[in-house]
Amino acid sequence: MGTSASFRAPNTPRWQAFVIALQSGQPLERLQSELFNAGTDWERELGGPAVAAYAVALLDVHARLADRLRAAERPEQALQATIAEARAASEALPGSAAGALAERAFLSLLTRVTSGSQALADAAPAQAAEQFASARGTPSELIAGYVGELLGQYARHVTAREAGRLTEGEAGIGVAATRRLTRSLAGAAEQVGREARPAADAAALRQSWQPLITEAFSRGRRLPEHGR
């Protein structure tokens, strides 16, 4: 499957339907539906144990990261150590073609929750710890945020790899419009993921992770009633 943005969509009917929807300027809800319709391979990969390991790691992150941030010389150091531990846990399990997206989503989530409205580089350790403690929510909410980041990363990847097709020729929509489209679709996919209700127990989360991702893809495929 790969994660390089230079790879275009596979030549299958569902992926080609997604590409055509992008090229023809379909409404966002139709693009979202085609995105999740096409991604059956991604559904399986994102639901694998190596990706679930990052979600399970968030249970420990929820409990310990604030203290780690306070004790660190810089907030970035605490995040780097946390990410390294999660990566090691993931790499101990059977690999996934979605591994790079899973790690990117984990980093994006922790950076966002820890930094808030300011750049993490500008935050003191105590500030970052307070921000994380106030923004993390419950363990289940933090993991649901990860599911959102994960599906957002998926949407960005599969849309961005079509950038050449979307911008080429007189009928192309242009680079700026392609970037806006990518952001919009990623935001819609992220919202789908945030509606997940994950378990807050490690064993239960591991067992339910694939069904949780499958359910999220099912939600993403649905069109609003007015679009049927």
Residue 217 and residue 215: Cα distance in Å, rounded? 5
What one-letter code names the amino acid at 10? Answer: P
pLDDT in tens, 46-60: 999 999 999 999 999
* pTM, full prediction: 0.90
Please check whether residue 180 is in contact with residue 170, taking contact to mean a CB–CB distance below 8 angstroms: no
pLDDT in tens, 136-175: 999 999 999 999 999 999 999 988 887 666 656 555 567 7
Q: Which residue has the higher pLDDT, 91 or 24?
A: 91
pLDDT reported for residue 109 = 97
Please check whether residue 114 is in contact with residue 82, taking contact to mean a CB–CB distance below 8 angstroms: no
Residue 129 and residue 108: Cα distance in Å, rounded? 17
H helix count then E strand count, the chain: 11, 0
pLDDT reported for residue 171 = 56
What one-letter code names the amino acid at 38? Answer: A
- Torsion angle in degrees (nearest 10) through CA of 73, 77, 81, 82: 100
Q: Which of 155, 151, 180, 150 is nearest to 166 (CA)?
A: 180
Model confidence at 181: pLDDT above 90: no
pLDDT in tens, 94-143: 988 999 999 999 999 999 999 988 888 889 999 999 999 999 999 999 99
In the structure, what pLDDT confidence band is assigned to residue 4 with cuts at 50, 70 and 90?
very low
The stretches of 39-138 forming alpha helices (DSSP H) are 40-46, 49-71, 75-91, 99-115, 125-135
Residue 98 and residue 46: Cα distance in Å, rounded? 6
What one-letter code names the amino acid at 100? Answer: A
7: its two tokens: 């790879």
In the structure, what pLDDT confidence band is assigned to residue 186 with cuts at 50, 70 and 90?
very high
Residue 146 and residue 101: Cα distance in Å, rounded? 11
Reduced to 3 states (helix: H, G, I; strand: E, B; else coil), residue 9 is coil
108 Cβ contact partners less than 8 Å away, ≥ 6 residues apart: 149, 153
